[in-house]
Chains A and B, each alone.
Chain A
């Protein structure tokens, strides 16, 4: 039976304080930079959520091994919350939020070049005040092998 094969893993930690500062300073332009169109909701998003979304996108970038001369836009990655209670919680803390990952544009080309066509992604949030951070682990998979 052909099972998806793990190609790469990426992880990231992002300071919520830095996200909050960026949002306060640059406002909507910051959100337009880090969020994909499909991620903009009518209601406002919490700093905790934006922090985790950013960490997820950075983790995706690492899993894709994006080159330093390759364009990279965070809005090329859209993450959406999946219902909780799915397989494979080993490696991430219990209660971690599961996400679906959709890559477009340059990110999609980078993924396709490596045969990456599936993702698993989790995020969680820890800490208070200065140390409050979002964490993300992302796994890039290639589908059924030929």
Chain B
């Protein structure tokens, strides 16, 4: 993983730690692990989405608001990277 990408993932990890209310410690999550399986509810994903938008100063377009986008730290990072490239 590139330096940029791993930094992306770590920033997202911080957002998840603050907003996702997981049953396990966000620090111990692997980047590809399912956040939903780790305890993130649908409502918590709203908070994570808003937190990620804040952290990167982006806005998720509606077509990106799928359950898959927020499945893991990696998938969120991928979405953020795509949006940043487009800016």
Task: Give the B-binding residues of A (Cβ under 8 A).
Answer: 14-15, 18-19, 22, 25-26, 29-30, 33-34, 54, 58, 61, 66-74, 105-106
Contacts and interface: CB of A to CB of B under 8 A. Distances in A.
Interface of B is mostly: helix
Contacts of B67: 66-69, 72
B65 to A, nearest CB: 5
Interface of B: 21, 42-44, 46-47, 49-50, 53, 62-68, 71
Given A19-B43, A54-B43, A58-B42, A26 B66 contact: no
25 contacts: A18-B21, A18-B44, A22-B43, A22-B46, A22-B50, A26-B50, A29-B53, A30-B46, A30-B50, A33-B49, A33-B50, A34-B46, A58-B42, A58-B43, A66-B67, A67-B67, A68-B66, A68-B67, A68-B71, A69-B68, A71-B63, A71-B65, A72-B67, A73-B62, A106-B62
Contacts of B50: 22, 26, 29-30, 33
B15 to A, nearest CB: 12
Contacts of B21: 18
